[in-house]
Chains A and B, each alone.
Chain A
Amino acid sequence: DVKVTQSSRYLVKRTGEKVFLECVQDMDHENMFWYRQDPGLGLRLIYFSYDVKMKEKGDIPEGYSVSREKKERFSLILESASTNQTSMYLCASSSNPRISGNTIYFGEGSWLTVV
């Protein structure tokens, strides 16, 4: 089975802290994604990556950055955490998105609280 593993399930951080959310997939997928999910707003795309060292902005990239140094790992970075970044963060991966039949696999989510 495909596995997308997010390093932390629950985190509490202070305002202004730098926060790293790590994601690892074990299926040699080219593509990885970071979403956040908030009540009433659904899933919103933050950043995605189609290859090592490549990144593309999603719908809400402000306040976030990403790093993809290795194919299997995609990190989301909150440079200076703020309370409005309290949310559930979801990492996902898939093989070539140009092949529309391909499935996207999600991790279990990381619940971040910024106090």
Chain B
Amino acid sequence: DAKTTQPNSMESNEEEPVHLPCNHSTISGTDYIHWYRQLPSQGPEYVIHGLTSNVNNRMASLAIAEDRKSSTLILHRATLRDAAVYYCILRGLTGNTPLVFGKGTRLSVIA
């Protein structure tokens, strides 16, 4: 799976939008972009994924650049419960590779 690059940490004020960037310049045409997050003392949980088009769900939105070399996870209104480590992961269409996690971005939310 291709590599991703994320900032080590970010900070946001409560109830403001948060944009978490991810660079994946070596992405292949069949790689899906997945986002997971890990709350303190818990296992990672799925947030969202996409291939080419922007995606929305109840948790977040995923904006994918036209060249697919970068993407942004958008939390529309950060809450204290959104404080977590966010992982951006690429997953290929072929092969049996499990998820490979990088270091992720630690998001702090300030009240």
Contact = CB atoms under 8 A, between A and B. Distances in A.
Nearest to A48: B98
Given A43-B44, A106-B43, A33 B98 contact: yes
B68 interface: no
A6 B51 CA distance: 32
Interface residues of B, number: 26
Contact of A108 (B43, B51, B99, B101): B43
Contacts of B104: 42
Interface string A74-115: 000000000000000010100001101101111111000000
Main secondary structure of the interface of B (DSSP, over half): loop
A101 B51 CA distance: 9
A103 B46 contact: yes
A27 interface: no
Given A100-B92, A103-B49, A104-B46, A109 B41 contact: yes
Given A43-B101, A103-B49, A104-B99, A98 B43 contact: no
B43 A109 contact: yes
Interface string B77-107: 0000000000000011111111111111000
Interface of A: 4, 31, 33, 35, 42-43, 45, 48, 50, 56, 58, 90, 92, 97-98, 100-101, 103-109
18 contacts: A4-B43, A42-B102, A42-B104, A48-B98, A50-B96, A58-B98, A90-B43, A92-B98, A97-B95, A97-B96, A97-B97, A98-B93, A98-B94, A100-B92, A101-B32, A104-B99, A106-B44, A108-B42
